[in-house]
Amino acid sequence: MPKYLTRFNYEVHVVYAKNPDGRKSVWLSDIEGNKDIILHEVDSFFPKIFTHTPRHIVDKVIYKFWQAVAGIMIKGYIYDKTVFSGKRFIDTAGKILKKQNITDVIVTGAPFRLVHLVAKAKAQWKNVNLIADFRDPWTWEQDGDYQKLSPSALKQEAEREAYVIKAADKISAPTKNMVQHLREKYSEYKEKVILLPHAWDEDEIQKEAKVRGAVIRMVMFGTLVWRN
């Protein structure tokens, strides 16, 4: 999104988390050299062990340790990558807003802890127009991670979701089903909910001449997820 906003002559400030495993993200590589995108890195302090499946007995012990620690310290979904860095995101964003006199803020989930924190911070950020972008279902995805939470943790997430819906100026979602769900569940705020479909990066698409023949060729952008 930031890359395409700059094509409409916007200057975009992006607050992002440092990758816990040290690798450079594809997104950062894609926007290198764009003078209209100003980056602000935040240390995530997210346990590196949570970024991959435990591979051996030592990994499993470390994983269980951090799982126990996070379970005590964190209410809700413990695998959200902002569980230990949310305040740093808010502090950094607040300084940028004040210095640059920015009035439009976009925050994207999933995961959604940061979306909730930004919605809460909106009360301190005067004259800010907040767009909360839901790229995935939050508490209502069938067979999703949130459905594996304990009842108390799921209740925490449901309360955060409701708070965001109330506090944000606009809620965007990528599918008609998600938009319909949010408008029905939060009918009082249904005018806030808008459709913002998933996009594809035209810079990554190489157009080729059409080939006619008996073989059917299909192109799919996205991820295939197998569910029983």
Neighbours of 202 (CB within 10 A): 8
DSSP run (H or E) holding 153:
helix 151-167
Taken in order of first residue, the domains within the chain and their CATH numbers are 2-204 (3.40.50)
pLDDT in tens, 26-73: 778 888 888 999 999 888 777 777 777 788 888 888 888 887 887 777
pLDDT at 175 > cutoff 60? yes
Mean predicted lDDT score pLDDT of the chain: 84
Residues 166, 168, 174, 179, CA torsion sign? positive
Q: Token pair 């089903």 is at which residue?
A: 177
pLDDT at 223 > cutoff 70? no
DSSP run (H or E) holding 73:
helix 57-73
Q: pLDDT class for 134, splitting at 50, 70, 90? A: very high
User: What pTM did the predictor assign?
Assistant: 0.80
Cβ neighbours for 165, distance < 8 A, ≥ 6 positions apart: 132, 171, 182, 186, 189, 192
pLDDT in tens, 198-222: 877 777 777 777 777 777 777 776 6
